[in-house]
Structure 1
Amino acid sequence: MIIQNFIGIAFSLAILIWSCNYAIKNSIAIAQKYKIRDIFVGIFIIAIGTSLPEFAATFQALQFKSEGIVAGNLIGSNIANILLVGGIMLFPISKLKILDQDKSTFLFFLIFSIFFFFLIIFDITIDIKLAIVFIFLLIVFFYYELKKPIDEEISSTIVNNQPSYLLALKIIFSFLVLFFSSRYFIEFAKNLTELFGVAETTIGITVVAFGTSLPEVIATIISIVKKQNNLAIGNILGSNIANIFGITLIAVFLNSEINYFFLLTMIDKWLFLLTSLMFFTIIMLRLAGKILSIALILCYLTYFSYLYM
């Protein structure tokens, strides 16, 4: 049983890596063809695609009445994206190159993260009315980002000659493969943890959150290898926004309201806020390098270890 699960994890991970690479390759082609800002592609195309596993995990958890996994996945995925994925992203970079026009994007992220923190710290129930406010904020954010001027660097790139519909189909196909490979990865990983008698909320914060963050990890590594740093940054930012909006809205529209945050510890809640502040500071000060990278990854490993103590 244990060997079968390990084989399943390895096989699904291999497919996951391939699908991420294929998605990024075609997303870059879309950006070049239509001269779209790299960070916008990272936030709204790659991030949504790599967040599909989080959405799937939330949907499945709600079907099985596993509220602890829903709450743990939401918070755990955001923490993993910043500490683990962000740490990996910063390792080969000496200094971040963030345009002044993109700083407002990260300010929105920080403000909304603080707002969401107050919802979870006071265990406030999120209902349909509040969900509609979330949707409105997301539309405003999307419109505002789309209206920003195009980067000069993008206008000088080589334009891809493939038809737009073909590129779109390739991206959709890669996201579907990513979705199913991530789903099976989570299933195999969850089976292993259950064999060792791990608590449900801990599974949500660690195994499910880490498993559903794997697409972000792989997408970030591939983006860095392809020297598309802004895609990686946009992926982290967009994934966290997609997690908050997506997981919350799925839970609300399936259950009419969500109030699972009491299942989280105060450490989980405060770490969510602290990592959001940390990410904003790193971006604003354009910090990077191996020391910061290792520090972030060690913080994540320490938190991961603490949950299993």
Structure 2
Amino acid sequence: MLASLTAIVLGLAVLIWSADRFIYGAAALSRNLGVSPLLIGLTIVGFGTSAPELLVSAFAAAQGNPGLAIGNAVGSNIANIALILGITALVAPLAVGSRILRREMPLLLLVMVFAGVLLLDGHLGRLDGALLLLGLAVVLAWVIHDGLRGRKDPADPMEAEFDAEIPKEVPTRLALIWLVLGLLALLISARVLVWGAVNVAETLGVSDLIIGLTIIAIGTSLPELAASVVSARHGEPDIAIGNVIGSNMFNLLGVMAFPGLIYPAAVPGEVLTRDYPVMFGLTLLLLAMAFGLRGRMGRVGRPGGLLLVACFVGYLVWLGYSM
């Protein structure tokens, strides 16, 4: 038990560090290759923060633990909105000024409906996984197209925010070293984390799904927390929210695809009756805050942040009673 807990703690610590180094190397390399900061932010940074979830779910599915993999994807989305954005808004209120971001939010809702329809039959199979990956390709193409269009709009604040955050003047060789080192560390730490989590679940008699929804989901969402809080403190609220939106879309289309492709299995009933509705409801709440009222700029202030965190605590209590 002690070895398993140690594996979880060390695995999460290395996972967070390696995700940061992987994104740093990929972003710096892309900038050196002439990719615009806006496109780097919308793709590499926005989706790259989900690299931990992707690898953890892949290893969990390969080990025959699809419940942990599915719980990780759905639980991370719940944690991203309720916990990550909630804490970030408590640190610094988030005003939504980017038109690009306002176009991405309804897209996230569309992605949730699409993924939900595939899960409705209670089975996540290879065809479902393939359709989710196809959906991811379509979303990536749309985001890149929207990013190229957004570059022509100098009034959109996301361009300047990403330009300030994307690493500058990093030698290509150093960027490649961080990229490869970050990826290798991600692979090793994800494998160690899954091993520890499965052992703890078996020892305590807790389902893989619950472990995926709680310990793993919160742990793999920590890179989003770090990125969002730093962005908010730097006066870049659109990046803070954009990271969560990009990550949530990737979790549903990319991370969720791997259990279906690697280990087709039944979807736990609780996911459809409890967890997915909670995720959907929190997303609607975020959209209501972000779009504002009567045409005014949307804002996730401290009261909204407190409400989101309270929702997350309530959800954890619900999970506790469900065990």
Same fold (TM over 0.5): yes
Instruction: Supply the distance in 2 between the matched residues of 1:67 and 1:9 (Cα, whole angstroms).
Output: 18
> Counterpart of 1:36 in structure 2: which amino acid?
S
Q: Are 2:316 and 1:304 aligned?
A: yes
Instruction: Give the superposition deviation at 1:251.
Output: 2.8
Q: Distance in 2 between matches of 1:58 and 1:157?
A: 32
Q: Name the stretch that deviates more: 11-20 or 280-289.
A: 11-20
Q: Which residue in the other structure is 1:202 paired with?
A: 210
Q: 1:160 — aligned with what?
A: 168
**What do the CA deviations read for 1:131-170 (whole angstroms, capped 9, x no partner)?**
4642442343233233223256369859822334543542
Q: Could you state the TM-score of these two structures normalised by the residue count of structure 1?
A: 0.81
Deviation, 1:271, is: 0.9
User: What amino acid does structure 1 have at the position aligned with 2:239?
Assistant: L
1:215 aligns with 2:214: no
2:81 match = 82
Whole-Å Cα distance in 2 between the matches of residues 234 and 27 of structure 1?
18
2:113 aligned partner: 114
Dislocated runs of 4+, deviation >6 Å: 30-33
User: How many angstroms apart in 2 are the aligned matches of 1:53 and 1:298?
Assistant: 26
Q: Is the 8 A contact 1:74 1:243 kept in 2?
A: yes
Pairwise CA RMSD? 3.4
Q: How does 1:90-109 map to 2 (within 5 A)?
A: 90-109=89-108
Query: What percentage of aligned pairs have identical amino acids?
Result: 25
Q: Structure 1: any 5+ residue segments left out of the alignment?
A: none
Provide the residue aligned with 1:143 in structure 2.
144
Question: Which position in structure 2 is the counterpart of 1:295?
Answer: 307
- Distance change >3 Å, CA 190–CA 207, structure 1 → 2: farther
Return the alpha-carbon distance in structure 2 between the equivalents of residues 78 and 160 of structure 1. Answer: 31
Q: CA deviation at 1:84?
A: 1.1
* One-letter amino acid of the structure 1 residue matched with residue 86 of structure 2: G
SS of the residue corresponding to residue 287 of structure 1 reads strand
Partner of 2:295: none
3-state SS of 1:198 partner: coil
Matches within 5 A, 1:225-264: 225-255=233-263, 259-260=266-267, 262=269, 264=271
Amino acid at match of 1:45: I
Distance 1:157 1:166 in 2: 20
Instruction: Find the aligned partners of 1:93 and 1:161 in 2 and give their Cα distance.
Output: 29
**Superposition map of 1:11-90 within 5 A:** 11-22=10-21, 36-37=36-37, 40-90=39-89
Comparing 205-214 with 175-184, greater Cα deviation is found at 175-184
Change over 3 Å in CA distance of 1:41–1:258 after alignment to 2: farther
Which residue in 2 is equivalent to 1:184? 192
CA distance in 1, matches of 2:163, 2:216: 41
Aligned CA distance change for structure 1 residues 164 and 248 (closer, same or farther; 3 Å): same
Q: Deviations over 1:86-125 (max 9, x none)?
A: 1122122234142123311222111221232333345365
Secondary structure of residue in 2 paired with 1:148:
helix
Of 229-238 and 165-174, deviating more is 165-174
Counterpart-to-counterpart distance in 2, 1:58 and 1:131: 15
Aligned AA (1:141): W
For the residue of structure 2 that corresponds to 1:269, the secondary structure is helix
Q: How many residues align?
A: 306
- CA drift of 1:293 comes to 1.4
Distance 2:199 2:234 in 1: 35
